């Protein structure tokens, strides 16, 4: 079963990839963008940056408070600006917020400057991984499963535009990280930086 403990496993050996692009992880809440992103950064010996943390720092408020005080539209505005700043900065592993890739201008920037990885999980996995946590305002409803299902229907066709898709389920976070690492290595070999992104 997926548990928070899996994020504290001992990291595997480092394995750098000689490619200047930032690796951006996208996917729904609970997909593992933060958990796998942190591990991937350690393995690639790159800085790890989490968009949600950067938004909290910039706003001086928790995500829950940004939603409740200013509303979701203001949060999305902040998210777009923070993503643009991070994508202009030094190469890193970037855990995007769950909705970041849905904004067309953010998606275009990611496509131009980064390698994107969709962590694709099914509904049961997402429900299990997000259960009992209160820091995700979109899921603080009477029926988080229904909300996740609605978001899947809206967003999965968009996440599918990512350069790479890695399925994630009941395997360990280390295992997912290893799969992402291998997929990124294959992608940058097939599509070197400086070439036009694949159609
Ligand atoms: N194979 C796995 N890969 C990633 N996370 C896993 C895995 N197995 C279990 N988990 C657990 O699932 C949870 C994933 O949560 P995480 O915060 O990383 O998701 P997220 O995609 O960053 O969500 P959000 O969009 O809300 O920030 C963590 O508690 C992690 O320990
Ligand atoms: O999927 C989303 O829209 C969100 C995901 C989180 O990462 C946060 O960015 C916020 O809770 C909204
Ligand atoms: Mg996260």
pLDDT in tens, 30-72: 999 999 999 999 999 999 999 999 999 999 999 999 999 999 9
Cα 190 to averaged position of ligand 3 atoms, centre (Å)? 28
Residue 46, classed as helix, strand or coil, is coil
* Region 17-188: CATH code: 3.40.50.300
Residue 11 token pair: 């990291």
Q: Is the CB of 55 under 6 A from ligand 2?
A: no
Which of 93, 81, 96 shows the shortest CA–CA distance to 28?
96
What percent of the chain lies above the pLDDT cut of 70?
94
Mean pLDDT of the chain: 93
pLDDT tens digits, residue range 134-150? 899 999 988 999 999 99
CA of 130 to the centre of ligand 3 (A): 11
Nearest to 46 by CA among 22, 63, 28: 22
Domain ranges of the chain: 17-188
Q: Give the residue whose CA is nearest to atom 4 of ligand 2.
A: 98
Residues with CB under 6 A from ligand 1: 2, 4, 6-7, 27, 29-36, 52, 95, 97-98, 129, 136, 168, 171-173, 176
> Is 136 known as a binding-site position?
yes
pLDDT reading at 3 higher than 90: no
ipTM of the complex as predicted: 0.98
Which ligand 1 atom sits nearest the alpha carbon of residue 119?
Answer: 21
Is 138's C-beta closer than 6 angstroms to any atom of ligand 2? yes
Token code pair at residue 5: 């403990």
More confident site: 148 or 1? 148
Residue 192 CB neighbours (<10 A): 11
Res 1: pLDDT: 39
Q: Which run of H or of E encompasses 118?
A: strand 114-120
């Amino acid at each position: 079963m997926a548990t928070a403990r899996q994020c504290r496993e001992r990291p595997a050996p480092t394995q750098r990839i000689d490619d200047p692009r930032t690796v951006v992880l996208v996917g729904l809440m609970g997909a593992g963008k933060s958990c796998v992103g942190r591990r991937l950064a350690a393995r690639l010996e790159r800085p790890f940056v989490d968009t949600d943390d950067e938004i909290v720092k910039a706003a001086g408020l928790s995500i829950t408070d940004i939603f409740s005080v200013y509303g979701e539209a203001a949060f999305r505005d902040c998210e777009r600006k923070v993503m643009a700043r991070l994508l202009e900065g030094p190469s890193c592993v970037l855990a995007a917020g769950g909705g970041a890739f849905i904004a067309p201008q953010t998606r275009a920037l990611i496509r131009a400057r980064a390698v994107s990885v969709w962590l694709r999980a099914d509904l049961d996995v997402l429900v299990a991984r997000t259960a009992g946590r209160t820091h995700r305002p979109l899921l603080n409803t009477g029926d988080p499963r229904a909300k996740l299902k609605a978001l899947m229907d809206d967003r999965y066709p968009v996440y599918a535009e990512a350069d790479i898709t890695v399925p994630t389920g009941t395997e360990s976070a280390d295992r997912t990280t290893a799969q992402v690492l291998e997929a990124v290595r294959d992608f940058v070999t097939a599509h070197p930086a400086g070439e036009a992104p694949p159609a």
